Structure 1
């Protein structure tokens, strides 16, 4: 037989194997797929017949028109919670049509993932004051019960009134440090009418003023556009609070520790990652095995952070041991890492290294974007409302000479070196904190642009959540989930919820409800904080942000320093994109990653 004949025979055999082998494999695995599909349909059928026994199924909901395994019957997560273009208007509409408490579909819009959402202040206050499960994490924001109380006791000194007072000079130093760097950059670019200050992190963009004799003299000369890395400033403050040393992020110096955190947060902000999004439907250990780029980058950064943190642990432990051996008296300590390490000296409050790392991560994660985003939104609101900006500048007028030209004395290496609130800087901090309109302006910015658009809780047990009014179903009848006053002590009763069911709280929608804030809820009005509606004055609860006062002071200091030297005008229309926090983008240009620009009119 010739070589050609042998090759032909082998080719035919190969074709036969490939053809029928593929068919055999398809039939072999196909039976499992068919079995899985049939099982799923049976499961959904049985679940639907079980749902009448569940009270949640009788909660009102708006029909949706999305398809997954079949047509979903209620609206989905994106519609009610995640879309900043929809939520401000939709929650107002839903409250009128369906009441304050509704249900919606969770992830994937599958019919068995029914969730509860409420904008009822009575319900939200109850949820805030009682333990509900959050994410699976060891951080202070997600732990429960005794562990949560223990962590709050340990880190409370880091966010106490005295700590915030001692850290206020740090906020001033960082603001002045950033201010000087920005002015220096502008001076080098002063020959160009339109320039861009390139920065590794972005925020809103403004320009710089030149020296002027009075606040009222603002003649127009040119419009300059610059990108300002406020996140670098807030990160620098965070690391001083958390670790007690400098990242030098404002100077853009290379720092392995800071770079790891920055790269990890940048990776977490990547939303267009289908493989990672697929992992949301699987247990965490399965999602961690998916070979997507974001997961790999987060793992790489986590390894660096753990190595650096453990090295820092060892160094701090040696220092604490040396202090103890020398019999040195330990004064007030406001660095979180030191507080957590010292807590292990008490037998009743012992934290493992992984628990300590989780607390530092929680604070870094919570504060990385939230404060800088609030500053960006505040600057944008100043451009939208010139009278508000003028009123703020007038209130700051007595402090302008100091805010513009103050030169911090001494090095800026650790948080300890800022713990001296005396002299001129101490007087400045006290006077700034006493400015009423600045306080109201910042609070109104946070109402209009909350750092976190929504949150959720998971019921840890069967419970009854109080409501302000009886809950009715789509037909106007009292819902099966509603329980009378004999169970709650309230004339309006409550809602029965089962263990494991989700409860979403749409913070973004709640902040713009007319039923809560009044008819002018959609108006930006700082003066509303002079007399708040009774419904707003609810307890922040067990899971309120422990650093809220800390962040508020930092925002006020940065805004005061910037308003004293810059005038903000001519902002482009902006939209928010909700992922982790609400981020501002130039309207209709999110896909291109376009950064919004705030114009600034230079004075001669």
Structure 2
């Protein structure tokens, strides 16, 4: 038997060998140092603190793009070179045109495996294509008709809870939105995707909700130099060693993540076992997520089969991606509407008119077609996704030598003008969703303003030269083969929530607690300036005009 010190020494030797090999490989690549970029004051962590530890999400990155252009050179950890992009044509080439040739970086995949398991967000190449092909029917437009009443039921339960709070406070009260949105979307995801009740809104004893509370801010907000360096080293050591380290290292961050994943897997197993008992044979026409997963698990065809571990990984992936990102975006939508009363009133008027129209034709509730007809609601959602994306950037790595085209000619350090950038296999790329979503060349001179009306301009899309993203040229849901598989699910859920929330209540900033910042974690969530470290969005709510008698 080997003692711990011997194993640790062996691991260190292997690590140093791999790091040396990777550094040598890096020296042989095409250099991107001719590109302009910000100064770097640390060989160990490079410019990474300006991205992952900024008080304001993408604040430094926005300044870089304004100063150096939409393609620039930044330094990563251990002296590495990173190509930072916000150029539309470059991003379209990487995510759409090139297929799987630009894969996720090791660091991005490790973080995916930590918080979601080795599911769809972790998989690459043919494995990803097969998993996505199996899962796609669960997110078909026709399935959303079944989900809509469940989304509405959860939304109404939330408004009932808020109404009780407001009445106790004399007709007006402060609601902390991020925690309520997390509970709401967790319950909605459970009931629609898994036919499972988390009962978060009823203060049920959900261990998953308990271990998830503040997990992401605790783990990824304001990462220290040590954390940034530790995460960077993942790219230089073999995967099996990364797995062992993450399994045994006793840091507070990893302990919390391991506790969450243990509970997420326990819940996933319970849901799977219950579904199998209640539905031992899944009918061929069943299209909900749970049915699709179980059917794939029992398949005899290797092309359509998900083994037990893959099945669990898809479950834990949707538990995270299916509620946390939606919660953040809905919170941001309420924040912007609270700060723009005319927009809030305009949306409320549209909602009430749609409900009147439905009642006039004899329908008690809005249909999917009604949601699609609500142009201002769609504009509010699109503008929120553009202005307040849940992801700052996507990390990719070139799988082969390639040439990335640019939509805007760029001047190098020597003054030469270039229209493309040669990259070598292994080149790390940071594609900035947040900065692309704010480019004035794409969105106009008012790109830094939250203005839903831009999406009501029928000629607006015609003015945009490069198509990117699955919704209105916005990059927030990703684009290409790895775009968010559940984007229709998320849009329908958020629209349904906003319809009930805006119809029932009026929202305003809380005096003295209205300085909300977009905080960079794995996702961008609201935090209160001066009280950072946990997600927080307090809003003052009161019954909306003429809505006191609404159900």
Q: Same-fold call, TM > 0.5?
A: yes
Query: 1:597: which partner in 2?
Result: 538
Tell me which residue corresponds to 1:203: 177
Report if aligned partners of 1:464, 1:495 keep a CA contact under 8 Å in 2: yes
Identify the residue that residue 534 of structure 1 maps to in structure 2. 464
Indicate yes or no: 2:299 matched with 1:299. no
RMSD of aligned Cα (Å)? 3.5
Check whether the contact 1:343–1:350 (CA below 8 A) recurs between aligned residues.
Answer: yes
Distance (Å, rounded) in 2 between the aligned partners of 1:273 and 1:83:
11
C-alpha deviation, 1:288, in angstroms: 3.4
Take 1:115 and 1:357, find their aligned partners in 2: how far apart are those partners?
34
Task: Tell me how far 1:195 sits from its aligned partner.
Answer: 5.8
Please give the secondary structure, in 1, of the residue aligned with 2:162.
helix
Alignment match, 2:94:
127
Do structure 1's residue 436 and structure 2's residue 375 form an aligned pair? yes
- Report what 2:36 is aligned to: 60
Pairs within 5 Å for 1:18-417: 51=27, 54-64=30-40, 66-68=41-43, 76-79=47-50, 83=54, 85=56, 87=58, 90-91=61-62, 93-95=63-65, 97-107=67-77, 110-111=78-79, 113-129=80-96, 130-131=99-100, 132-134=102-104, 135-136=109-110, 137=113, 138-187=118-167, 189-191=168-170, 202-203=176-177, 229-260=180-211, 268=219, 279-283=230-234, 284=242, 285-321=244-280, 323=281, 330=283, 332-344=285-297, 345-347=299-301, 348-399=303-354
- Measured against aligned partners, the alpha-carbon deviations of 1:401-432 in whole angstroms (never above 9, x if no partner) come to 799x9xxxxxxxxxxxxxxxx97355454323
Query: For 1:164 and 1:426, how far apart are their aligned partners in 2?
Result: 15
User: How many angstroms apart in 1 are the aligned matches of 2:139 and 2:92?
Assistant: 23
| Contact 1:98–1:474 (Cα < 8 Å) also in 2 | no
Partner of 1:209: none
Give the Å deviation of 1:133: 1.9
Q: Which runs of 5+ in 2 are unaligned?
A: 1-8, 235-241, 470-478
Seen in structure 2, the aligned counterparts of structure 1 residues 389 and 519 have a Cα distance that, compared at 3 Å, is same
1:24-53 deviations in whole A, cap 9, x for unaligned? Answer: xxxxxxxx9xxx9xx99xx89x979x8596
- TM-score, normalised to structure 2's length? 0.79
> 2: distance between equivalents of 1:267 and 1:302?
15
Aligned counterparts of 1:454 and 1:82: Cα–Cα separation in 2: 14
* Matches of 1:396 and 1:465, distance apart in 2: 45
The structure with the greater share of residues assigned to strand is 2
Q: Provide the C-alpha distance between the structure 2 equivalents of 1:62 and 1:337, rounded to a whole number of angstroms.
A: 48
The 3-state SS of whatever aligns with 2:507 is coil
Q: 1:552 to 1:338 in 2, by over 3 A?
A: same
How far apart are the structure 1 equivalents of 2:67 and 2:424?
Answer: 25
CA 1:235–1:121: 2 relative to 1, 3 Å = same
Cα deviations across residues 92-151 of structure 1 (Å, max 9, x unaligned)? x544543321111123xx32x111111111110011122122214432123222211111
81 and 59 in structure 1: CA distance in 2 versus 1, 3 angstrom threshold:
farther
2:522 is aligned with 1:563:
no
| Contact 1:260/1:301, CA 8 A, preserved across alignment | yes
Is the 8 Å Cα contact of residues 268 and 316 (structure 2) preserved in structure 1? no
Aligned-pair CA distance for 1:439: 0.5
Q: TM-score, normalised by structure 1?
A: 0.72
Q: 3-state SS of the aligned residue for 2:538?
A: coil
1:496 counterpart residue number = 422
CA contact (8 A) 2:265 2:316 kept: no
Larger radius of gyration: 1
Matched, 1:586 2:528: yes
Measured in 2, the distance between the counterparts of 1:230 and 1:85 equals 22
Structure 1 residue 541: Cα displacement: 0.7
For residue 569 of structure 1, give the secondary structure of its aligned residue in structure 2.
strand
**Matched residues in 2 for 1:266 and 1:589: separation?**
12
| Helix, strand or coil at the partner of 2:148 | helix
Shift of 1:337: 2.8
Distance 1:519 1:148, change over 3 A: same
Q: CA deviation at 1:171?
A: 0.9
Count, aligned residues: 490
Q: Secondary structure at the match of 2:163?
A: helix
Paired with 1:119 and 1:464, the residues of 2 have a C-alpha distance of 16
8 Å CA contact retained: 1:158, 1:241: no
Pair 1:519-2:478 in alignment: no
Contact 1:379 1:568 in 2 (8 A): yes
How far does residue 256 in structure 1 lie from its aligned partner after superposition?
A: 4.0
